[in-house]
Every structure is written in structure tokens, then in C-alpha cells.
Amino acid sequence: MEYTVKSGNPEKQRIGCVVIPVYASRKLSPSAKIIDKASNGYISNLVRRGEIEGDLGNVLLLHNVENTLCDRVLLIGCGKEKDINVKTFYKINHNMVKRLQISGATEIASYLTEIPVKRKDINWKIQHSIEAIDESLYRFNQLKSEKKEARRPLRKFIFSVNGRGQLMQGEQFVRQGMAISAGIHLAKDLANLPGNLCTPEYLASQAKKLERQHDAIKTTVLEEKDMQKLGMGALLSVSKGSHEPAKLIIMEYNANDKKQAPVVLVGKGVTFDSGGISLKPGAAMDEMKYDMCGAASVIGVINACAELQLPINIVGIIPSVENMPDGIASRPGDIVTSMSGQTIEILNTDAEGRLILCDALTYAEQFNPDVVIDIATLTGACIVALGAHTAGLLSNHSPLANDLLSAGKASGDRCWQLPLWDDYQEQLKSNFADMANIGGKGAGTITAACFLSRFTKKYHLAHLDIAGVAWKSGSHKGATGRPVDLLTQYILDRVDENK
């Protein structure tokens, strides 16, 4: 898809379709008023007759409107003007794309950038229009023998800006939207692949592929023998039951002074999670291919930052395994020694994510990080607590937590903070080892983060539990690409602060 920005009145756009907002109670937007005036009241007459009310979800496609140069005018209902928020803005764009796909138009001039979104400027609207459009158009059909293609696919969007003075900055946010959207797309593709294709080896190959595409990325892959030398007994205990060997993938994006302490992103990469000996129920077990969405998001974020050539240093660490039951798989009651030297009693082999993350978090120390953010589909308890709307956030550093909360609000990819208090550490006590890998029924998301915090005493940590937001179930089953938007916005904010 091609995206660009342009200034100019809607009736003068010589293009396949011009998209115009209309608000509830039949209120015309500024662009609708211009078209209405040029067409001698054609739009207002349609509104007066009730052809379109302006409610959210209303659409009306017009052809050959008098005194306009475009082939079509698409009126999009936006609801009440004062109620439009981030979620509504995405819905409006989704409704636009859905109608345009069957319109025959291939090149579009969108005036949806004039919609007032609470506390968002036109640059935000340009960037997130791109993300919303690409989200609407995304299809994972690589593995289907017959791929349905649109007869006349959409190929170009032009976003309206108020004047020439906004063109340069508008183009910058076009690039930003395209880069973040590409990162989200990559994360979705990786996550939607089945476990027999997207293995730890495959994830490593995709990280290596990015190294070949971007000079600023260096990728290193540690094999099981390397991890054994490092003493990563917790990580390796998870891969014991699988024929797929574990991989520790390290992606270094260096685009600033080498002395600058990096942001380290650690992504859980369990390419399929059967639960191990603590076997999961059969229903919806196919969705356990999504247990590597944390890893996919790290790869997506680094790809977005490389596309934008952001002047920052980032390290992505991806511990990748497959968790399977087998004669030599870890058993409940086994005790393993982590890279940190701390011992762990494995009371539940389905609490494997924290076992691979704890060694990866210890490994992160060698990079002398400014901050470390781990991203993991870690606990079902997070879904119980927060549902499918927001990721869980726990941190040992308030400024880091506040920055992520702020980035979530700015991007619309939100997170919500839960406490990381020492009170909960008591639940991890073991009679036989330094700690247990589960903390009982209560506060499962918090005790999981408490477990990880025992391996992060030397730096600032934020833990994102994305179990509720990383994919959708049911008829819309598929990866969401979250939290690529949130994390890329966090990094963009850091870059802006350092200018």
C-alpha cells in the first residue's frame, strides 16, 4: 500500500474516491460542507431525506457528484463529534475500508484526518489511520491453497492536511505509521504460523533475516550447549521434553553512541505450549501456538525501529523453546538451578514461561541496560483480572512504569499497572529449593512477576503480561500484534526526550 499526504479542497481531488466524515444528528464536517456547496446542496439534501444520519457505522457511497473531479464520494458516519476517541477513530477507518473494498476504487483521498479525536493532533491521526487501514486489510492466508484476492485492491491512500506547512511533518508520520504497521504485521505473521512451522529454529532464522536486511542489526543465536555452559538450567528444563532444541536469540540494534546504555526487550518465545507433564486441557490447545507472541513483538519492534533508523541502542533477547510431555520432560517436583545460581522447585510444568525468562533476564545483565522490559503471554490470571482490553504491567521502577503507561495512552495500545509488592513473595516459598515456580491460586499474575523480580535486582524492570491481548479467539481468531505499537511508542518517546 502507498500512503502520502496532500493539502487541497475535496472537490478538486481527481481521484477514484474522496472519503468525507458526517457526524450524528446529520451534522456535516468541514469537507462535507465544501462538497455540499460545490454540488449545490446535494449532500445536505441527502442528509435531510435521511439517506445518512451520521451515526457510527453509517456509510453512503455516491457517484459522479456534480462539480467534483472525483469518481466517487464516500460519506462515513462518525457518531457524536464530542464522543470520538481512539477506539472510535479506528472503527471509523475500519468501516471506510470495508466499504471501499467493494467499491471498485483503488486510489483514495481521506478527509478523516479532520475528525476531532480527544487530545490527538493531525499527525497522530495520519499515523493511526495507516495502522487502522493495514489492520483492516491484514489477512493470514499464506497456508491456504486458494488465496482470494480483491478484484480491484486498494493501492493508495492520500491523507488531507490543512496546508503546505503540515506536509513535511505529515510525511514523517506516514513513515512512522508504515514502520509500526510493518512491525505489527511481522509479529502477526510469526504468531499465526502453526507450531510445526514456527519452531525455535524458525524464529532464529527470522531474526537472522532481519540482520541481513538492516546494517544496524546484529543477531546471535546460542544453542543448547552454549546455554549449558552458561548454567541456564531453568530454561533448558523446559525444552527437555521436545525434539526441537531450544534457542537463545540475541538481536542487537545499535544506532547510537556505543556508550549509551541500551533498552533491553526480553520476549517469551514458547512456540507451542502443551503444558508439559502438567498437560493443558484439550479445548483450544491449538491457540498455544500463540505462546511466543512476546518473542514476535520483540522482533516486530526491532524491525520498526530499524525501518525508522531511530538513534537508539536496543537489545532483543528471545528465549525460545517448545514445551512438550515426554519420558525425559521435567516433572512436577523437579528442582533446577538457574543461571543466577538460585534453585527452583517446579511445582507445575505449565508455568514454564517464567523458567525461560528468568535465565534470559539474568543474561541481560551483561548489556548493562538502562531498562529491561519483558513481554510474555504469562498467566491466565491476567485474563481473569483485566480481560482482553489491556496488558498487565508490573515494575520495580515507577518512572519506567509511568513512561509505559503514557506510551500506552498515546498509542491506544494500553497497559494497566498491578502491584509488585514484597508481600506476595511469601507465596513462592518452597520447602526444598530457593523458590517455587508458582505461588498458589491467589494473585497469579503478581506472583509470576514477583518470581521474575528475583532475577532482576541489578536493573530497572517492567514486566508486560500480554496473555489477554496478544491474540483473539473465536470467529476472529488470530494474533493482534500487540504490544508492538506500545513499545515502539515508548522508544519514540525516549528518542524525542534525548533530542
φ and ψ at residue 395, rounded to 5 degrees: -150, 150
C-alpha cell read off for 197: 512451522
C-alpha span between 49 and 96 (Å, rounded):
22
Cis peptide before 483 (omega within 30 of 0): yes
Angstrom distance (rounded) from CA 113 to CA 101: 20
Only one residue has cell 525501518, namely: 307
Q: Are 272 and 286 in contact (CB under 8 A)?
A: no
CA distances for 347 relative to 139, 251, 333, 356, angstroms: 40, 32, 5, 15
Nearest to 355 by CA among 373, 372, 330, 380: 330
In 231-376, which ranges are E strands? 247-254, 263-267, 269-273, 313-323, 335-337, 343-345, 371-376
- Cα 486–chain centre separation: 7
Alpha-carbon distances, residue 225 vs 229, 247, 492 (angstroms): 6, 10, 37
C-alpha torsion 182→202→248→492, nearest 10: 0
CB 58 within 8 A of CB 52: yes
- Total residue length of the chain: 499
Catalytic residue at 354?
yes
Alpha carbon distances (Å) from 20 to 15, 63, 78, 469: 14, 13, 10, 32
Q: By CB neighbour count within 10 A (0-12 exposed, 13-18 middle, 19+ buried), where does 81 fall?
A: middle
331 noted as active-site residue: no
Judging by DSSP bridges, how do beta strands 343-345 and 435-436 pair with one another?
A: parallel
- Helix boundaries (H) for 106-254: 122-137, 167-192, 200-213, 224-230, 233-239
Of 6, 26, 280, 494, the active-site residue reads 280
- Is residue 235 a contact partner of residue 256, using CB atoms and an 8 Å limit? no
Q: How far is CA 78 from the centre of its chain?
A: 26
| Separation CA 463–CA 480 (nearest Å) | 19
287 half-sphere exposure, CB direction, 13 A CA radius:
19
- CA gap 13, 54 in Å, rounded: 23
**Would you please indicate which residues are annotated as catalytic (active-site) residues?**
280, 354
